[in-house]
Structure 1
Amino acid sequence: MVKLTGLKKIKTAVFISGAGSNLKNLIKFSKIKKSPISIGLIFSNTPKAKGLRYSNQFNIKKYVASFKNSKIAEEKILNLLKKESIEFICLAGFMKILSKGFIKKFNGKIVNIHPSLLPKYKGLDTHIKAIQNKDKLAGCTVHSVTAKLDSGKIILQKKVKISKKDTPASLAKKVLSQEHKLYPAAIKRIFN
């Protein structure tokens, strides 16, 4: 992982596909003095991502590229990241899988937040799986991104109790509130 040098904040891009609640949380975190990151770019694979509104609200550059041809999209993104001097990427509800080549170019400098206690329930529908399997605990994980889906080194995890009344939606809400605490804590751990 990257080490923080002096007081310079690490210029970071956040990749989203949806509402962007983790993005908003990371922006707020980046504004505090002790935060090791500054967010220089918001990227989305969909122009309808609600989280893109934070670009105007917080005056951060945004970029949207369709992944119909992921090779072309990734080339454009890599060029833009270089142009904007981005050194670190946070995936926050980004629903596309980045290629091995892309990940290699950003070796060790991409992290993701996943709504399960990895290695359990990689991929989608994590809350449904946890409830169907009658798990007592769910949670979230911040991990390094590797070419293998949701398989990189675990940086931090947070557990959440599953109650008998929980539905996938209520569990998702509980886990999301913990994600907002976990992501900044994991980023601090990476850079300190």
Structure 2
Amino acid sequence: MEKLIGRNLNISVFISGRGSNLLSLIKYSKNKNSKIKINLIISNNKFSKGLEFAKKYKIKHFIIDYSKEKQAEHKIYGYLKKNKIDLICLAGFMKILSPGFIKKFKNPILNIHPSLLPKYKGLNTHIRAIENKDKFSGATVHVVTPKLDSGKIILQKKVRILKSDTEKTLAKKILKIEHKLYPAAIEKILKKSSL
């Protein structure tokens, strides 16, 4: 991890859907003081709206067919190596990376998850928080490990759940904080060896 501190990072973002976190990372990378460059975008979904951002900002991108996971991951690893990727950011990537892939890619892999981990790992986080009458929910950036949503927490931010909140309104509130949280978590990694 030491070698990542205080230098510019080549980042690959993995997406499956609308790519709103991807867009916030692209905007962050364009800041004058930013030390990151998004070199590569990987998607398992050819209909992902996030691919439009890849085209708009002229970022190299590949669509990976995941019907054969082993072949898909082998292909992805080749792209990462070729593009000298230092850090992977999963941003709504709806595939679980295999333990073999995580081990092979020696540098950190981050994920952003829409709950206050360790609460509500996996899917349907918003409705679970509402049904349990939680007062707060939020988002977490964590290190990816072979165990789902269980790696070291880099940064968390919470939002209050109102009695009037629905799954949709809570999702919207959390997405808004995610857009600030992901860049802040990368900043934290760049400043100190936190992994």
1:39 match: secondary structure = strand
Map 1:68-83 onto structure 2 (within 5 A). 68-83=67-82
Paired position in structure 2 for 1:87? 86
Quick check: 1:47 aligned with 2:46?
Answer: yes
For 1:156 and 1:2, how far apart are their aligned partners in 2?
19
Paired position in structure 2 for 1:110? 109
Paired position in structure 1 for 2:172? 173
For 2:25 and 2:113, how far apart are their aligned partners in 1?
15
For 1:9 and 1:17, how far apart are their aligned partners in 2?
26
Paired position in structure 2 for 1:97? 96
Which letter does structure 1 place at the counterpart of 2:139? C
For 2:161 and 2:105, how far apart are their aligned partners in 1?
36
2:154 match: secondary structure = strand
Paired position in structure 1 for 2:31? 32
How many residues align? The count is 191
For 2:91 and 2:125, how far apart are their aligned partners in 1?
16
Cα deviation for residue 33 of structure 1 reads 2.5
User: Normalized against structure 1, the TM-score is what?
Assistant: 0.96
Given that 1:139 and 1:175 are in contact with CA atoms closer than 8 Å, whether structure 2 keeps it comes out as yes
Cα deviation for residue 5 of structure 1 reads 5.5
| Cα 1:21/1:102, change in 2 over 3 Å | same
Structure 1: 5+ residue stretches without partners: none
Given that 2:117 and 2:149 are in contact with CA atoms closer than 8 Å, whether structure 1 keeps it comes out as yes
User: Normalized against structure 2, the TM-score is what?
Assistant: 0.95
For 1:25 and 1:2, how far apart are their aligned partners in 2?
26
Paired position in structure 1 for 2:133? 134
What's the RMSD between the two structures over aligned residues? 1.2
For 2:32 and 2:103, how far apart are their aligned partners in 1?
31
1:13-51: CA deviations, max 9, x gaps? 000000000000000001113222100011101101000
| Cα 1:167/1:69, change in 2 over 3 Å | same
Cα deviation for residue 120 of structure 1 reads 0.3
Given that 2:135 and 2:161 are in contact with CA atoms closer than 8 Å, whether structure 1 keeps it comes out as yes
1:101-139: CA deviations, max 9, x gaps? 111122351000000000000000000100010000000
Cα deviation for residue 84 of structure 1 reads 1.1
1:166 match: secondary structure = coil
2:139 match: secondary structure = strand
Structure 2: 5+ residue stretches without partners: none
Paired position in structure 2 for 1:164? 163
Q: Identity of aligned pairs, percent?
A: 62
1:19 match: secondary structure = coil
For 2:148 and 2:15, how far apart are their aligned partners in 1?
17
Given that 2:86 and 2:107 are in contact with CA atoms closer than 8 Å, whether structure 1 keeps it comes out as no
For 1:171 and 1:58, how far apart are their aligned partners in 2?
30
For 1:174 and 1:191, how far apart are their aligned partners in 2?
27
Given that 2:21 and 2:91 are in contact with CA atoms closer than 8 Å, whether structure 1 keeps it comes out as yes
For 2:122 and 2:148, how far apart are their aligned partners in 1?
7
1:43 match: secondary structure = strand
Which letter does structure 2 place at the counterpart of 1:75? H
| Cα 1:169/1:3, change in 2 over 3 Å | farther
Which letter does structure 1 place at the counterpart of 2:56? Q
